[in-house]
């Protein structure tokens, strides 16, 4: 009990610090400042899009890792977790070296399709997806390993194609794992700072998400930074609590 | 081992000079400022300094330790406002050198220091990739639609200075990004992601291998002053004031000038 209480206090006390230090009297005035809503809207939009990207690419990747064997699978699994250990700022530089104007693919994308990613909202989504994807892949892979593969085999013997079996049998089985992974992924994307500011830069309304706004507010005005942090916290806690009840059936 | 030998040699040199030519005006000018302090400030001096001072302060620290062999100077570099917050939150430090008077004011207003002095000034230049591919020669050239520009965010000193210079020049400019500090803006030029950035002269000079600095007349309207101060709660007050004094001696000023600072 005591270690659990210490653990909880360790996690909750900094939050209490923010609440105690918050400038409650000027709060309504500060919330309506231009830029706050724009940053919040951009944060929610990009984190959601990044989660969608991670779902589309991450679930198949998790399935490959969990259900197939191929040489180098361990290496691939280790590579998937690289963004977890890479400092996000380095991740941002790495993204620039690939998708930047002089990057491996960036120059080609620009000359062929006229697409440039750095300093765009798409760039924010890309940076967030890069750091958040491992959370989804690891979570879904774990769920797949826990799910009994014989159900899929049974479906296959009854004539279901691989895609039908995946969609009608596997996916419902691992839905809680996918949902948990998606929530983790979304939360990580929402708080993303280093890769975003390095790869997508910082421009209000286009690439300035809440964490970037908080960082820059901190340069001048601690109170403004606290207000922005509280807004981000309140919105994310509301959404996460709501999703948890609805998707995961937890109470 | 090698640095220790050098330090010993420097110490010997100082002792010899001090012993042989105590009456000479010449040596008093270079060594005099710290010689009296040198006796009473043994121990560690912790200096929190703006990131743009990194290269200069490393060299100044070596000079200071040569003159005060019993002193160990420890530097911590970072964004001025972050350092100011650390100080007002009670971080143990002796000296604070900021990149802007406004940041210094947050520390003096909080009662953590008194009477800062300006020891250097910095000026903006346009940093462009080596060879200046877009042929940028003035602030007005940055407003062309095909020129991608990175500025510092208005919240940090280099961004405030950039806004000042642009308004003096009457140039309306939409950057592709407002970077968190001057080194981040410079990095975007180094990586080739932008065609130009407004950075300090010292930063462009330190990155001379990758970028060129284009001077422009309007920068005179946005000169940045660097104040330094000994902190009120300095664990080593005599060491703190000795360092603050030393930074304004000709030897230290020469190092700053080499790095591109204005006196």
pLDDT tens-place string over residues B45-63:
999 998 889 889 999 999 9
User: What pLDDT was estimated at residue A236?
Assistant: 85
Instruction: Please state whether B122 falls in left (phi above 0), alpha (psi between -120 and 50) or beta.
Output: beta
8 A C-beta contact, residue B71 and residue B65: yes
8 Å CB contact of A198 and B82: no
Q: Three-state DSSP class for B224?
A: strand
Q: What is the mean pLDDT of residues A59-85?
A: 92
Q: What is the pLDDT of residues B150-205, one digit of tens each?
A: 999 988 888 989 999 999 999 999 999 999 888 899 999 999 999 999 999 999 99
Contacts 24+ apart (CB under 8 A), A159-168: A166/A63
Please, which pLDDT band fits residue A247 given cuts at 50, 70 and 90? Answer: low
Whether the per-residue pLDDT at B236 is higher than 50: the answer is yes
Judged by a CB distance cut-off of 8 A, whether residue A215 touches chain B is yes
Kindly report, residue by residue over B75-88, the tens digit of the pLDDT: 998 888 888 888 98
Across the interface, of B82, B179, B191, the residue whose CB is closest to A202 is: B179
What pLDDT, on the 0 to 100 scale, is given for residue B16? 40
Quick one: pLDDT band at residue A249, thresholds 50, 70, 90?
low
Instruction: List Cα–Cα distances, B198 to A185, B80, B118, in angstroms.
Output: 36, 18, 23
Neighbours of B121 (CB within 10 A): 14
Q: Are A40 and A210 in contact (CB under 8 A)?
A: yes
Name the residue in chain B with its Cα closest to that of A205: B177
Strand order of the β-sheet with B149-152 is B177-179, B149-152, B196-200, B124-129, B211-214
E strand or H helix at B232: none
Q: Per-residue confidence at A129, pLDDT binned at 50, 70, 90?
A: very high
At B117, the pLDDT band (50, 70, 90 cuts) reads: very high
The CATH architecture to which A35-248 belongs is Orthogonal Bundle (1.10)
Q: Where are the alpha helices (DSSP H) in B130-181?
A: 157-169
Residue A200 with chain B: CB contacts under 8 Å: 177
- Assign residue B259 a region: left if phi > 0, alpha if psi is -120 to 50, beta otherwise? alpha
Contact indicator for B115, B216 with CB cutoff of 8 Å: no
How many other C-beta atoms can be found within 10 angstroms of the C-beta atom of residue B15? Answer: 11
A201 closest CB neighbour out of B79, B156, B177: B177
Q: What is the mean pLDDT of residues B231-238?
A: 90
Residue (of A6, A39, A9, A3) closest to A227 by Cα position: A39
pLDDT at B38 (0 to 100): 42
In A, which residues are within 8 Å of B82 by CB distance? 218-219
Distances from the Cα of A179 to the Cαs of A60, A138, B65, B106, in angstroms? 15, 12, 59, 46
pLDDT at residue A111 tops 70: yes
Q: Give the model's pLDDT for residue A31.
A: 82
The sheet carrying B43-50 orders its strands as: B71-78, B43-50, B95-97, B224-230, B117-122
Q: Is B164 part of the contact surface with chain A (CB cutoff 8 Å)?
A: no
Contact indicator for B194, B124 with CB cutoff of 8 Å:
no
Please answer whether residues B241 and B45 qualify as being in contact, where contact means their C-beta atoms are separated by less than 8 angstroms: no
Distance CA(B231)–CA(A65), nearest Å, equals: 57
pLDDT of residue A25: 86
pLDDT of residue B41: 59
- Put simply, whether B109 touches A (Cβ < 8 Å) is no
**How many interchain CB pairs under 8 A, A with B?**
62
Percentage of the residues of chain A whose pLDDT score is greater than 70: 97
Q: Provide the Cα torsion B161, B164, B169, B172; round to 10°.
A: 100
Q: Does position B14 have pLDDT exceeding 60, yes or no?
A: no
Nearest by CB to residue B79, choosing from A204, A207, A219, is A219
Indicate the pLDDT class of residue B31, thresholds 50, 70 and 90: very low
What percent of chain A lies above the pLDDT cut of 90?
Answer: 59
A241 versus A208: the higher-pLDDT residue is A208
CA torsion angle for A57, A63, A65, A67 (degrees, to 10)? -160
| Interface residue B183 vs chain A (CB under 8 A) | no
Query: Average pLDDT for residues A12-32, to the nearest whole number?
Result: 87
What are chain B's domains? 2-120+225-258 (3.40.190.10), 124-222 (3.40.190.120)
DSSP-derived letter for residue B69 is T
Question: Given this model, what pLDDT does residue A251 score?
Answer: 44
Cβ atoms of A236 and A187 within 8 Å: the answer is yes
Q: What does the pLDDT average to over B29-40?
A: 42
Q: Domain boundaries in chain A? A: 35-248
Among A21, A199, A202, pick the best mutation site for testing chain B contact (most B Cβ within 10 A): A202
Put simply, whether B201 touches A (Cβ < 8 Å) is: no
**Cα torsion angle, B16, B17, B19, B21, sign:** positive
Query: Of the candidates B226, B232, B223, B228, which has an alpha carbon nearest to the alpha carbon of residue B245?
Result: B228
Q: What's the whole-number mean pLDDT along residues B125-153?
A: 92
């Amino acid at each position: 009990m005591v270690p659990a209480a210490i653990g909880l206090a360790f996690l909750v006390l900094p939050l209490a610090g923010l609440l105690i230090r918050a400038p409650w009297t000027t709060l309504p005035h500060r919330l309506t400042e231009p830029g706050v809503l724009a940053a919040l809207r951009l944060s929610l939009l990009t984190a959601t899009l990044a989660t969608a990207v991670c779902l589309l690419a991450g679930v198949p990747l998790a399935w490959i890792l969990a259900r197939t064997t191929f040489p180098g699978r361990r290496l691939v699994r280790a590579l998937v977790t690289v963004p977890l250990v890479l400092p996000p700022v380095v991740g941002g530089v790495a993204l620039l070296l690939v998708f930047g104007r002089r990057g491996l693919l960036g120059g080609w994308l620009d000359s062929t399709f006229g697409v440039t990613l750095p300093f765009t909202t798409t760039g924010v989504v890309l940076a967030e997806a890069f750091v958040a994807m491992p959370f989804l892949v690891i979570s879904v892979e774990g769920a797949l390993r826990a799910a009994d593969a014989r159900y899929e085999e049974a479906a296959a013997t009854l004539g279901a194609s691989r895609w039908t079996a995946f969609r009608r049998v596997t996916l419902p089985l691992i839905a809680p794992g996918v949902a948990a992974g998606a929530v983790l992924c979304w939360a990580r994307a929402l708080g993303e700072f280093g890769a975003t500011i390095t790869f997508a830069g910082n421009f209000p309304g286009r690439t300035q998400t809440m964490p970037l706004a908080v960082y820059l507010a901190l340069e001048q005005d601690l109170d403004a930074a606290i207000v922005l942090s509280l807004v981000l916290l309140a919105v994310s806690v509301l959404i996460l609590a709501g999703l948890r009840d609805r998707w995961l059936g937890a109470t | 081992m090698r640095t220790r030998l050098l330090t010993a040699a420097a110490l010997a040199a100082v002792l010899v000079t001090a012993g042989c030519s105590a009456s000479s005006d010449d040596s008093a000018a270079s060594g005099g400022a710290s010689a009296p302090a040198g006796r009473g400030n043994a121990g560690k001096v912790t200096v929190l300094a703006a990131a743009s001072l990194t290269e200069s302060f490393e060299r100044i620290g070596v000079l200071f330790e040569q003159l005060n062999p019993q002193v160990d100077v420890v530097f911590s570099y970072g964004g001025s406002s972050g350092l100011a917050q650390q100080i007002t939150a009670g971080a143990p430090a002796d000296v604070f050198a900021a990149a802007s008077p406004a940041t210094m004011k947050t520390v003096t207003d909080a009662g953590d220091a008194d009477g800062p002095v300006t020891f250097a000034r910095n000026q903006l230049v346009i940093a462009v990739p080596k060879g200046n591919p877009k042929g940028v020669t003035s602030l007005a050239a940055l407003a062309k639609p095909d020129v991608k520009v990175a500025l510092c965010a208005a919240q940090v000193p280099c961004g405030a200075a950039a806004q000042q210079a642009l308004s003096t020049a009457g140039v309306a400019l939409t950057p592709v990004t407002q970077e968190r500090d001057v080194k981040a803006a410079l990095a975007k030029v180094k990586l080739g992601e932008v065609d130009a950035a407004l950075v300090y002269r010292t930063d462009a000079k330190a990155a001379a291998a990758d970028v060129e600095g284009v001077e422009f007349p309007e920068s005179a309207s946005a000169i940045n002053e660097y104040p330094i101060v000994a902190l009120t709660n300095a664990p080593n007050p005599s060491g703190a004031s000795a360092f603050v004094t030393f930074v304004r001696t000709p030897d230290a000023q020469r190092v700053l000038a080499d790095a591109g600072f204005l006196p």
